[in-house]
Amino acid sequence: MIKPYRNDPVYKLAQDSNNISRGGKMQHYCISDGLLYATTRGGEDCLYIPKGHGINGEILRELMISEIHNKGHHSGDRNLRYASE
């Protein structure tokens, strides 16, 4: 498990099977191999990035955005493809 997931309130809710059952408040989330995914309205599963800190104290979400941004200024579609590979 990724360390920041341990204290993440969304991850904790998704761990409770009552919350992810059909009609539950977390029905659009699933945990696979210790990682949390959210299902979009289009049916795609997107990795949930917790609010925790990564290496050198960087915020994980900011680190991910920075990594994608530093690859160059491209279209939204291209950035999404890069981020999901």
Q: Please answer whether residues 15 and 8 qualify as being in contact, where contact means their C-beta atoms are separated by less than 8 angstroms.
A: no
pLDDT at 33: 87
If you ran DSSP here, which 8-state letter would residue 38 be given? E
Tell me: the pLDDT tens digits for 35-49?
Answer: 899 888 888 888 888
The pTM (predicted TM-score) of the whole model is 0.66
Name the residue among 12, 14, 2, 17 with its Cα closest to residue 45.
14
